[in-house]
Amino acid sequence: MAEKTYFTMREVSRAAQLPEYTIRYWETKFRLVRPLRLASGHRRYTKADIDALLEIKDLVFVKGYSLDGARKALAAKRRQAKAAGKPEPGRPAGPAKSALLDEIKKELRQLIKEL
């Protein structure tokens, strides 16, 4: 069976050990966390979203950053990665984007067939 691509709010909440309301609030404060929104309004998170949440959690709860400080630290980290020529972690670059879109299309077609 293929690895899961999208995760529900409940799955992300359990994986990150964060309450759902905290995740929703952080979505408004950090651009890194942008889940896919279904027509019904439900959120679907990617592995990159989960990784970003875990990184934010580490900065805020373990290292003691404020939310504003965590946002600045993450922005500085992205600038350094961009200057070094590395693609943004968790975000596909080039041909990988096309493969991801093809995979999403397959999943959507499968869902339509099931309906």
CA distance 59 to 114: 42
CA-to-CA separations, 44 to 36, 72, 75, in angstroms, rounded: 5, 26, 24
Q: Compute, in degrees rounded to 10, the torsion defined by CA atoms 78, 82, 87, 88.
A: 10
Q: Give me the residue spans of the domains in the chain.
A: 9-114
What's CA 47's distance to the chain center, in Å?
Answer: 6
CA distance 30 to 40: 23
Higher-pLDDT residue of 100, 60:
60
CB-based contact 29:71 (threshold 8 Å): yes
DSSP summary character for residue 91: S
pLDDT tens column, 16-31: 999 999 999 999 999 8
CATH number for domain 9-114, candidates 1.10.1660.10, 3.40.50.150, 2.60.40.1120, 3.40.980.10: 1.10.1660.10
CA distance 51 to 74: 12
CA distance 23 to 21: 5
pLDDT tens column, 67-112: 999 999 999 988 888 887 755 555 555 566 677 778 888 888 888 8
